[in-house]
Amino acid sequence: MLAAATAVALAGCSGVLSGPAPDTYDLSAPTDFGTIGSTRAQILVPVPTALASLDTERIVVRPEPAVINYLSGAQWADKLPRLFQARLVEAFDRSGRVARVGRTGEGLVADYQILAEIRAFHADPTSGIAHAEVAVRIVNDRSGRIVASKTFIREAPLVSKNSGDIVTALAAAMSAAMGDIVGWTVSRI
């Protein structure tokens, strides 16, 4: 029986490995921050929270408000919250407007934490829009008090319904939201 179970398990694995690998996409951090101030604060960016439908490598497509599908043959380079965290840290770093920025476990003595919740990140082929929505709270790391909170919503037009154009629009919407988050954060601390 053990031999039969092992044979079935190996046969299942070979089917998974023989299929085409999905196209893997990345987000990019914004590079233009306009004229924002600066701060000497050190900022910690923990992994954002998200519903299970977004806490995945899969790319969400919503053809109807109550329907969640995933883009076939495509995935993010990491689970979306971790990918967002990495690019937001990169955005703060690229801005040059904070003393130091890092993630949990990097030995940073933070003044503030940027707590984010990814509420929406999907393409809507019916309306032709890519939608990003991120709620952010700035928390004083010493007192635990919320300094400010805001929800950032950005959209970008879908040029077509092909995977590459969908991902390009999603990346543009999220990059714009990250730029807004950096500017807003620096102005509040």
pLDDT per residue as tens, the chain (189 positions): 444 444 444 444 444 556 788 999 999 999 888 788 888 999 999 999 999 999 999 999 999 989 999 999 999 999 999 999 999 999 999 999 999 999 988 888 999 999 999 999 999 999 999 999 999 999 999 999 999 999 999 999 999 999 999 999 999 999 999 999 999 999 999
Is 97 domain-assigned? Answer: yes
Query: What's the token pair of residue 178?
Result: 């990250």
Is 64 domain-assigned? Answer: yes
Is 3 domain-assigned? Answer: no
Q: 156 phi and psi, to 5 degrees?
A: -140, 145
Q: Would you state the pLDDT for residue 18?
A: 61
Instruction: Report how many domains make up the chain.
Output: 1
Is 10 domain-assigned? Answer: no
Query: What's the token pair of residue 105?
Result: 């476990």
Is 33 domain-assigned? Answer: no
Q: Would you state the pLDDT for residue 102?
A: 95
Is 159 domain-assigned? Answer: yes
Is 59 domain-assigned? Answer: yes
Q: Would you state the pLDDT for residue 37?
A: 83
Residue 107 CA to residue 65 CA, distance in Å, equals: 42
Per the CB < 8 A criterion, the answer to whether 119 and 48 are in contact is no
Q: Would you state the pLDDT for residue 17?
A: 56
Alpha carbon distances (Å) from 135 to 48, 94, 122, 152: 10, 22, 15, 6
Q: Give the range of the structural domain holding residue 94, as residue numbers without chain letter.
A: 38-188
Residue 107 belongs to domain with CATH number: 3.40.50.10610
Which single residue is written with the structure tokens 């990345």?
26
DSSP secondary structure, 73-130, as one string: EEEESS-HHHHHHHHHHHHHHHHT-SSEEE-TTS----SEEEEEEEEEEEEETTTTEE
Is 177 domain-assigned? Answer: yes
